[in-house]
Amino acid sequence: MADERDRDEPLPYGRRRRTAASALVAILVALALGALFNAPAMKKTALELPFGGERSFRLALVDPLAVVSHWLFLDRPARLTAALLGRPDPGPGDVPAVVVVTPKPKPSRSGKPKHGDKEKPLPKPFKGHPMHLYIAGDSMMGLPGMALVNLSNRTKLIKPLLDYHISSGLCRPDFFNWPAQLQRQAKAFDAGAAAVMFGANDNQAVQTPSGKVYQFETGGWKKEYRRRVSDAIQILFDQGVRRIYWIGQPIMPEATFNRQMKVLNDIYRSEIEKHPGVQYIDAYGLLSNGSGGYSQYLPDSDGEMQKVREADGEHLTYAGGLRIAEAVIAAVKKEWFTKKPKPEAGEASPPPGETTTPAP
Amino acid sequence: MLFPTITFAVFFLLVFVGNWLLMPRPRLWKPFMLVVSLFFYGWWDWRFVLLLALSAVANQFFALLVERTSSRTGRKWALAGAVAANLAVLGWFKYYGFFVTSVADLLDTFGLNADLPLLRIVLPVGISFLTFRVLSYVIDVYRGRLRTSSLLDFAVYVSFFPYIAAGPIARASEFLPQLTAPRDPRRVDTARAFFLIFAGLFKKMLLADYLATHIVNGVFTTPGQYSSLEVLLGIVGYSVQIYCDFSAYADIAIGISLLLGFDLPDNFNAPYTAVSVQDFWRRWHMTLSNWLRDYLYIPLGGNRKGRSRTYVNLMITMVLGGLWHGAGWPFVFWGFLYGGALIVEHARVDRRKDRAARRRGGLDELARMTAVHGLAEGEAGTASPVLPPAAAGPPALEYDRRPWRGRVWPRVGVFAFVTFAWVFFRSDTFGAALSVLARLFQSWGSIGAAVTPGVLLAIAVGIGMQYVPRPVWQRGEAGLSALNPVLQGLVLAVGFMLLDILGPVGPAAFIYFGF
């Protein structure tokens, strides 16, 4: 390509050089038209930002663009192309920033709802009838989830389904609607248990059903977030999940973020106490070093030092994820694999060969 | 700041305007380019800017020391100081954890329990590229191939934002001369620039990220969840992903530089069409291969010190090349595989060379005897039918220099080898790599849900596009250059729209940022 580097030599196939001004025209046209073509997608991105100044600023810029794009029919090509290619519409979705869940009434004999049917013996999984473990969360659940999948497969008695979505959380159902997702997936997968991990993206404002926006850590925020945690638990139980393993947030390298994660962990712990059938997995402790502090390296079960955090210091490596996965699997085994006291008539675990579904 | 974002588009638009407005006044242009480059780099972490500034000042100091020291020994010591300082910085940021855990594991093997300090060190983006760039400057000054530039010029070279995060590794001798005179604003290769930028975005957003999320990440993390066919496709998919990801960054970097008036060296040339491993390294990450050849392999002695030494030099170069990519034993093994493959190829060609030499030795002897016999019979003046006239000197040995003969099977074989080697490159540990490879033989009963038309198409396009002859692309560039600027903009806008619809949600970082 030496000939192309020499500015006095002709370029191949009569390729023409242009002036910087004509390049500027092409760039401006490309960016302006590109912005108008993609205005719905830009608006969607702006809407999904955390409530606050940047979101308002971006919306102030994008809103008029979206209006102009719509008037000039320039948003149609993108929408039409997306529809033709079977892709989701590029514009904002219709899910609001707040979702209110109405718990399904499930009265017990005493007339009170039974969270997770704690007192009901769990059906012991056996070969051919594994327990279905639904694993859900944000990007923090990525590698722990994959480690959990590997450990589950190794038991041959747990069938896992990993379902994690980057940048998601419980604060912004308009970005990713976890209540709907939990409902849909737990039911479709016929989940017996669920391991969930949320929170790393939830250090942001929330909108209450009344439309009021509360900033992170305020009293209103805590109340609303508690409701959402409780709703998530209730949704899973309503779909027949018998046990929930709620994984807290691990220790974080940056002091402010770490404190925020502690706030979330406190909420998870206190909400879990109100719901029998839910167990808290203390990722914070599992990922702390001997003196309770942060470390990027921790010893594995053989005593060998392993890097447990990715380069960003927050996300977990596979080795880090494995520590959480092992804790979840231990909890699952304790509850699902150990022999229980003799169950009541009609509640017995199916014997080998019987084709009843292990999930309730 | 990632290339495929609106933030970068706005940043670049402002830089583009400033670049050409200030270009006629180098005294203004150079500080401007330095500031915007530092801003670009500091977008990741402002502390990185300090590292960059320190690197520029320190290496300029070493280069001046090398240039102004008259004694050969003194120059050598100055060069050694520069190499040691740069490798120490690289070692601290990139290899500290690897070193400490390896030492701790080694001590543990001997029953010694060492509580070595493990720190959280933030790896600056593109530090390996930075190290090689600045070393090329000091070494070229040492070799007398380059004169030291001003600190400002050198700082612009060190921090030039298009290549700062992931190459290409433009050498000082390639870039600094372009700073001596303003670039000509009437002769900008816009069509090639737009073509490269769009091609880069296409490869990154539609092929690399698609394959990563739809098959590769899953297969490499939870191979037990996938059928053997899925694992095979996942491994091949990673070959395509890493090519599309890395070459995309290089394409965009070269395209952006062209728009600013600068030429960067090509970094890829259809690597999966290579007919040998040697050929592969002439096509893959070419600026790294050339750097390793010129600044490591040749100083080690290259092929000038006998065959055994050549093979040792090849192995050292490739193992260090592997380690350059990442701090971990799988990277070392990846380099070892390539070192071994290159040795095998060299040995094959050397054997052929020996045979050719023996053949010629026999023929020479025959010719000599014929000549002697002829002279004895009084046939003086008859020219030898074998030997050329003595004045022409001995001809070059004629033998097949290709390590592997044929057109199709060498390509298939090299691709299979490269793909196999990528498994170790992609895996965190040997155990993880072996799990992936073992899974290839464990579950051939089913096809698997991850084998989708989309995945197959992405793999086919990723490999197939490398077999498209270069003139086809060049005709496309020429066609784009024939359009007027407004139409060029329209074509790009439609292209961006399609990328936005078909691409993943949100930009993913380029793989080579971590190297």
DSSP, residue by residue, B258-294: HHTT-------S-GGG-SSHHHHHHHSSHHHHHHHII
- Residue A107 inside a domain? The answer is no
State residue B119's pLDDT score: 61
Q: Give the pLDDT confidence of A14-36 residue by residue, as tens digits.
A: 788 888 899 999 999 999 998 89
Domain span at A219: 124-336
> What's the complex ipTM?
0.74
Q: Which of B122, B184, B474 sits opposite A7 (nearest CB)?
A: B184
Q: Does A133 share its domain with A208?
A: yes
Interface test with A, best of B8, B222, B480 (most A CBs within 10 A): B222
Q: How buried is residue A16: exposed, middle or buried, by Cβ count under 10 Å (0-12/13-18/19+)? A: middle
- Residue A152 inside a domain? The answer is yes
Position with higher pLDDT, A89 vs A304: A89
Q: How buried is residue A253: exposed, middle or buried, by Cβ count under 10 Å (0-12/13-18/19+)? A: middle
Inspect the interface and report whether the beta carbons of A22 and B500 lie closer than 8 Å. Answer: no
Q: Give the pLDDT confidence of A235-277 residue by residue, as tens digits.
A: 999 999 999 999 999 999 888 999 999 999 999 999 999 989 9
* Chain B positions in Cβ-Cβ contact with residue A37 (cut-off 8 Å): 493-494, 496-497, 500
- Residue A285 inside a domain? The answer is yes
Report, as residue numbers or ranges, the catalytic residues of B.
325
Segment (H or E) for A278 = strand A278-281
Q: Does A187 share its domain with A252?
A: yes
- Residue A231 inside a domain? The answer is yes
Q: Does A80 share its domain with A138?
A: no
Mean pLDDT of chain A: 83
State residue B227's pLDDT score: 86
All residue ranges of chain B with pLDDT < 50 are 375-391
Domain count, chain A: 2
In DSSP notation, A70-129 reads: HHTTTTHHHHHHHHHTTPPPSS--S--S-----PPP-B-TTSSB-GGGTTSPPPPPBTTB
State residue B505's pLDDT score: 63
The minimum CA-CA distance between A183 and chain B, rounded to whole Å, is 23
State residue B226's pLDDT score: 84
Tell me which residue of B146, B148, B143, B123 sits closest to B59, measured CA to CA: B148
Q: Which of A31, A303, A318 sits opposite B13 (nearest CB)?
A: A31
Interface test with B, best of A3, A17, A153 (most B CBs within 10 A): A17
Q: Does A244 share its domain with A320?
A: yes
Q: Cα(B156)–Cα(B32) distance, rounded to whole angstroms?
A: 9
pLDDT band for position A297 (50/70/90)? confident
The minimum CA-CA distance between A219 and chain B, rounded to whole Å, is 32
The minimum CA-CA distance between B6 and chain A, rounded to whole Å, is 9
Q: Does A218 share its domain with A147?
A: yes
State residue A267's pLDDT score: 95
Which residues, 6+ apart, have CB-to-CB distance to A89 below 8 Å? Answer: A40, A79, A82, A83
Strands A158-164 and A131-137: parallel
Q: How buried is residue A333: exposed, middle or buried, by Cβ count under 10 Å (0-12/13-18/19+)? A: middle
CA B257, B258, B263, B268 dihedral sign is positive
- Residue A349 inside a domain? The answer is no
The minimum CA-CA distance between B223 and chain A, rounded to whole Å, is 8
pLDDT at residue A348 above 80?
no
- Residue A113 inside a domain? The answer is no
Q: Cα(A165)–Cα(A182) distance, rounded to whole angstroms?
A: 12
Per DSSP, B5 falls in state S
Which residues, 6+ apart, have CB-to-CB distance to B361 below 8 Å? Answer: none
Maximum C-alpha span of chain A = 93
Q: Which of residues 200-229 of A touch B (CB under 8 A)?
A: none
List A299's β-bridge partners, or say none: A305
Q: What are the tokens at B162?
A: 């298009």
Q: Does A166 share its domain with A298?
A: yes
- Residue A110 inside a domain? The answer is no
Per DSSP, the three-state class of B509 is coil
Q: Give the pLDDT confidence of A232-246 residue by residue, as tens digits.
A: 999 999 999 999 999
With beta carbons less than 8 A apart as the criterion, state whether B194 and B488 touch: yes
With beta carbons less than 8 A apart as the criterion, state whether A151 and A323 touch: no
Q: Does A69 share its domain with A198?
A: no
* Chain A positions in Cβ-Cβ contact with residue B506 (cut-off 8 Å): 166-167
Q: Does A32 share its domain with A167?
A: no
State residue A356's pLDDT score: 30
Q: Which of A26, A90, A296 sits opposite B492 (nearest CB)?
A: A26
Q: Cα(B489)–Cα(B135) distance, rounded to whole angstroms?
A: 40
Segment (H or E) for A244 = strand A243-247
Tell me whether A61 touches chain B (CB under 8 Å): no
* Chain B positions in Cβ-Cβ contact with residue A319 (cut-off 8 Å): 428
- Residue A229 inside a domain? The answer is yes
Q: Which of B224, B259, B498 sits opposite A150 (nearest CB)?
A: B224
Segment (H or E) for B16 = helix B6-22
Q: Does A65 share its domain with A198?
A: no
pTM: 0.76
The minimum CA-CA distance between A319 and chain B, rounded to whole Å, is 10
State residue B394's pLDDT score: 62
Q: Cα(B70)–Cα(B52) distance, rounded to whole angstroms?
A: 29
* Of A91-105, A346-360, B492-506, highest mean pLDDT: B492-506
List A194's β-bridge partners, or say none: A134, A244
* Chain A positions in Cβ-Cβ contact with residue B261 (cut-off 8 Å): 20
Position with higher pLDDT, A291 vs B242: B242
SS percent in chain A: helix, strand, coil, step 5: 45, 15, 45
Q: Cα(B389)–Cα(A277) distance, rounded to whole angstroms?
A: 97
State residue A359's pLDDT score: 32
Q: Does A76 share its domain with A140?
A: no
Length of chain B: 515
Tell me whether A305 touches chain B (CB under 8 Å): yes
State residue A27's pLDDT score: 93
Q: Cα(A301)–Cα(A314) distance, rounded to whole angstroms?
A: 22
For position A326, which CATH number holds? 3.40.50.1110
Q: Find the mean pLDDT for residues A99-121.
A: 57
Backbone angles phi, psi at A207, to 5 degrees: -110, 135
Position with higher pLDDT, A204 vs A118: A204
State residue B101's pLDDT score: 72
Segment (H or E) for A299 = strand A297-299
In DSSP notation, B171-225 reads: -HHHHGGGGSS---TT-B-HHHHHHHHHHHHIIIIIIIHHHIIIIIHHHHH-GGG
Q: Does A48 share its domain with A143?
A: no
Residue of B nearest to A85 (CA): B502
Per DSSP, A288 falls in state B
State residue B379's pLDDT score: 42
Q: What are the tokens at B254?
A: 């070269």
Strands A243-247 and A206-207: unpaired
Q: Does A312 share its domain with A238?
A: yes
Interface test with A, best of B16, B107, B171, B221 (most A CBs within 10 A): B221
Q: Number of A:B CB contacts under 8 A?
A: 185
Tell me which residue of A241, A1, A21 sits closest to A114, measured CA to CA: A241
